[in-house]
Amino acid sequence: MSIFLEACRSLLKPKATLRYPLGGKDLLQIPDGYRGKMALKREACIGCTICEKDCPSSAITIITDQKGKRPVFYLDRCMFCGQCKESCPTKAISFTKDFENASYDRKTMEVR
């Protein structure tokens, strides 16, 4: 008898799940401190290469372009530990709340 009462109570409660891929993305509440895709403030980066040296999964490579040295992040290697953000002396590296990182093309897994 108690199973029947619990089933009736559950039917009257509001839904606990969201229709995420079908329109529920704006309803998702991503917690503070979530580490999604990396973002680089190019004007704050001084090209010190500390992030590349501190990355435990070798997911960062430093390249040189017309503005100087800057990191390239490879999301397919990254374990999102946050060590690069912590070791950056100018706080040029941050994490977004973007969690949709899956891709068939490896080039889209680079953050430049």
Note the pLDDT tens digit of each residue in 6-46. 888 888 888 877 777 777 677 788 899 999 999 999 999 99
**Residue ranges of domains in the chain:** 32-111
What lies within 8 Å, CB to CB, of 24 at 6+ separation is 18
> Which class for 71: exposed (0-12), middle (13-18), buried (19 or more C-beta within 10 A)?
buried
Residue 96 has pLDDT above 70, yes or no: yes
* 3-state DSSP assignment of residue 69: strand
Q: 0.85 exceeded by the pTM?
A: no
Mean pLDDT computed over 53-71: 94
pLDDT score at 24: 67
pLDDT score at 17: 79
Average pLDDT, the chain: 90
pLDDT-derived band of residue 1, with 50, 70 and 90 as boundaries? low
Domain 32-111 has CATH 3.40.190.10: no
Residue 86 has pLDDT above 80, yes or no: yes
pLDDT score at 27: 72
pLDDT > 90 fraction of the chain, expressed in percent and rounded: 65
